[in-house]
Amino acid sequence: MFLFFAVIAGALVVAVVVGGDVRRLSQIRVKHLELLIGAFGLKLVVALLGTAHSELAVNIARPLNVVGAVLLLAVVWFNRRIPGALLFGAGLVLNLAAIVSFGCLSFYRAGWTLLRLGWPRFVTASIRFTSSCLSPTVPGS
């Protein structure tokens, strides 16, 4: 969640540095703002549930994470005429694919694994996991 807001803040800083005017953001009319607020609320709940070390919390957070991503995609669809919305939507589709592919809670699970193992062991374990996922399965080995 922190990374999400850090990226938004960074984008605003870059926009100002290259000569943009942040006040123009007030001219954007977002359709179905209630879906956007609901999606952010669900993402916040998922982040809070991700901090709990409970199997029940993880099982509750998994479908909420997917629902939040789908709500964000719906907001993008309703606002597809806004410049950059479809590009944002493409990123959301890739993020949703990663969420579903890695058990719906991969980011939070990876974060807690990083804290538990420490940086060097986390990187080694991630490389090992990724290479095992990408390597073809050889029958009889």
Task: Enumerate the domain spans of the chain.
Answer: 2-134
Confidence (pLDDT) at 108 = 52
Return d(Cα 26, Cα 63) in angstroms, integer.
33
Confidence (pLDDT) at 77 = 92
Confidence (pLDDT) at 4 = 67
What pLDDT tens digit does each residue of the chain (141 aa) get? Answer: 566 667 778 888 988 899 888 888 888 889 999 999 999 899 888 888 877 878 888 788 878 888 888 899 999 999 999 988 899 889 888 877 777 666 554 455 555 555 566 556 655 655 555 555 444 444 444
92-101: long-range contacts (C-beta < 8 A, 24 or more apart)? Answer: 95/69, 96/66, 96/69, 96/70, 99/65, 99/66, 99/69, 100/66
Confidence (pLDDT) at 9 = 85
CB atoms within 10 A of CB 85: 17
